[in-house]
Chains A and B, each alone.
Chain A
Amino acid sequence: AQSVAQPEDQVNVAEGNPLTVKCTYSVSGNPYLFWYVQYPNRGLQFLLKYITGDNLVKGSYGFEAEFNKSQTSFHLKKPSALVSDSALYFCAVKFWDSGNTPLVFGKGTRLSVIA
């Protein structure tokens, strides 16, 4: 069965420093990988996705993620963190089956950017 793992419950980073939120996946077919961000009392906002093509995917708010097939990873990165990036980040996966497939989420990583 497909799954994702986010090995860190919490990531702390100083404002202006680069940030990385880790995600590894396990799927039996070609993975479709997504990152979402959730602010307190808000819905999930889509950041970026990897479907095919370039391994480096650029998304919203200056975020990017690198798909690494050999390491089965899809880490989220940003060169310079902002305090406003503090939120809960979810990695999600699905793969093509015979029809619609739902997103399978990781447990989430809480990012705290300290001024």
Chain B
Amino acid sequence: AAGVIQSPRHLIKEKRETATLKCYPIPRHDTVYWYQQGPGQDPQFLISFYEKMQSDKGSIPDRFSAQQFSDYHSELNMSSLELGDSALYFCASSLGQGAGETQYFGPGTRLLVL
């Protein structure tokens, strides 16, 4: 079965640079979530989209922005990168907004900021 696809899988950036992470949800899934997992930490929710509209917002820094496109893929744009942004970034997708809907996670993008 098709899963959530994230690209790139690994990314190395310098401080103050920008990065764009991409997420392709499971086909027919209309909801996308972004999470950040720091080293040894649990995943923390950043932002989510339903039907191309932002639906919820978590601890996403103002330096980050995201959007969901007409084909339901999503991009997380990160600017003025800081050392503390080094983390594993997960995208998850679900079908619909129901609280009981399962979120299926991608393999993650590992970002290292030097």
Interface residues, chain A, with chain B CB atoms under 8 Å away: 32, 34, 36, 42-46, 49, 51-52, 90, 94-97, 99-108
Contacts and interface: CB of A to CB of B under 8 A. Distances in A.
Interface residues of B, number: 27
23 contacts: A32-B99, A34-B103, A36-B105, A43-B105, A43-B107, A44-B92, A44-B105, A45-B105, A46-B102, A46-B105, A96-B98, A97-B99, A99-B50, A100-B48, A100-B50, A100-B55, A100-B97, A102-B48, A103-B43, A104-B45, A105-B43, A106-B42, A107-B42
Given A102-B48, A103-B45, A107-B41, 14 more contacts: A32-B99, A42-B107, A42-B108, A43-B107, A44-B43, A46-B102, A96-B99, A99-B97, A100-B56, A101-B99, A102-B45, A103-B92, A105-B43, A105-B44
Contacts of B58: 102
A32 B100 contact: yes
Nearest to B58: A102
Interface of B: 4, 31, 33, 35, 41-45, 48, 50, 55-56, 58, 90, 92, 97-100, 102-108
Contacts of B102: 34, 46, 49
A56 to B, nearest CB: 17
B48 to A, nearest CB: 5
A43 B99 contact: no
Contacts of A99: 50, 55-56, 97
Contacts of B104: 46
Nearest to A49: B102
Contacts of B56: 99-102
